[in-house]
Amino acid sequence: MKTIDDLDVAGRRVLVRTDFNVPLEDAGDGTRRITDDGRIRAALPTIEALRGRGARVVLVAHLGRPKGEAKPELSLAPVAARLGELLGTPVAFATDVTGPSAQAAVAGLGDGDVALLENVRYDARETSKDSAERGALAAELASLADVFVSEGFGVVHREQASVTDVARLLPHAAGQLVLSEVQVFRKVLGDPDRPYAVVLGGSKVSDKLGVINNLLQSVDRLLVGGGMCFTFLAAEGHGVGSSLLEADQIETVKGLIATAEEKGVELVLPVDVVVATAFSADAEHKVVAVDSIEDGWMGLDIGPNSRVLFARALSDARTVVWNGPMGVFEMAPYAEGTRAVAEAITHVDGLSVVGGGDSAAAVRLLGIDESGFSHISTGGGASLEFLEGRVLPGIAVLED
């Protein structure tokens, strides 16, 4: 896989596929405000490296799911403004994807300048299942550049015009972020230092069956929290009240539990949970043992004894991967399980990987020191598919 160091970029137009799919909120004055600029910051080293070598940087990214329509609330204009602040230089913003505004913005670039094209998903061809349609958009994007750099790890698991098709049309390389992500995940999948522990959370077991099946072949410990733990608890014969439960997955989970035992994988499940009468921060809530969840109560976090148990299971690990929160961390009464696990991982003496998505968001929301982790992934879905052992189209095309 080539890196940006292998590309001749001086005075050339470099199309960089970034992941600027950042959360926005109404600012109250008719504009939209970015609430977490982590993904923008993650792309800065590559952008700065290219600028420093005299490249004319053309950024392409998506925001949300506009489904081929130009929706003002999903414009990348706030991203261009924030990026300009972070770079300390104006960022030209094109109000279309490959049309007159994009062409003018690119034509106006000098060496070291940066332009951002409007939300690429405003064009329905970006996510089309028709390769010819994607190819047509890719050709238009390629006409704006001389070389291509893949820096949007959050989309490398997608076969999309700006991710895979344009890479086939231009000399290409991996940006620093994508390269570091690939190196980290190949390390944990191929040759992890042991003990090797994986912490899985989030809402649904069904979303992570492929990951669990693959990890059971290599991990030493698997810790399960979040909403998905209740299907495991039900598989062990516990009542789960009104907690999130995928009843159709109980038999599958019984098989996973049996496989873990057969492979000698230590499966760590909560021993107590925080339950509430409703999905609300203001609802009545209490801590109960996992065999004492009453009807009408729903589990929304792992309990204090479980926090201690999970921290102990991580204490001597040399490799840890964490994907998915332990509870509804956005609500203060149900955030402590996620906080405890995150803080335990920061004390790991070895490689610690936060698998993007909600886990990365939780780290920032809860104010956990990001420097305490070896690597925080920018791609939730991409990191999951990597952990499943799948071939990611946006990575495979860079290796051609």
356 is in an annotated binding site: yes
Query: Do the Cβ atoms of 347 and 313 come closer than 8 Å?
Result: no
C-alpha–C-alpha distance, residues 388 and 400, integer Å: 22
DSSP class of residue 204 equals -
Strand segments, DSSP code E, in 61-190 are: 92-93, 114-116, 147-150, 172-174
21 is in an annotated binding site: yes
3-state secondary structure of 114: strand
- Tokens standing for residue 281: 């921060």
- Tokens standing for residue 42: 């993650």
C-alpha–C-alpha distance, residues 229 and 227, integer Å: 5
349 is in an annotated binding site: no
First CA to last CA distance, the chain: 8
357 is catalytic: yes
312 is in an annotated binding site: no
Of 13, 17, 39, 134, which residue is the catalytic one? 39
119 is in an annotated binding site: no
Q: With CA atoms as reference, report the closest residue to 337 among 371, 360, 303.
A: 303
- Phi first, then psi, for residue 293 (nearest 5°) are -80, 120
381 is catalytic: yes
64 is in an annotated binding site: yes
Q: Which residues have CB under 8 Å from 242's CB, separation 6+?
A: 295, 296, 297, 298
Q: Which residues of 161-187 are buried (b: 16+ CB within 10 A; e: fewer)?
A: bbbbbbbebbbbbbbbbbbbbbebbeb
Of 204, 254, 318, 390, which residue is the catalytic one? 204
330 is in an annotated binding site: yes
314 is in an annotated binding site: no
242 is in an annotated binding site: no
39 is in an annotated binding site: yes
Q: 23 preceded by cis ω (within 30°)?
A: no
3-state secondary structure of 223: strand
226 is in an annotated binding site: no
272 is in an annotated binding site: no
Of 175, 227, 241, 357, which residue is the catalytic one? 357
C-alpha–C-alpha distance, residues 189 and 149, integer Å: 25
20 is in an annotated binding site: yes
279 is in an annotated binding site: no
71 is in an annotated binding site: no
202 is in an annotated binding site: no
30 is catalytic: no
3-state secondary structure of 375: strand
Of 210, 381, 389, 390, which residue is the catalytic one? 381
158 is in an annotated binding site: yes
Annotated binding site for substrate: which residue ranges? 19-21, 39, 62-65, 121, 158
Give the residue numbers marked as catalytic.
39, 204, 357, 381
Binding region for ATP: 208, 299, 330, 356-359
Q: Where is the binding site, in residues?
A: 19-21, 39, 62-65, 121, 158, 208, 299, 330, 356-359
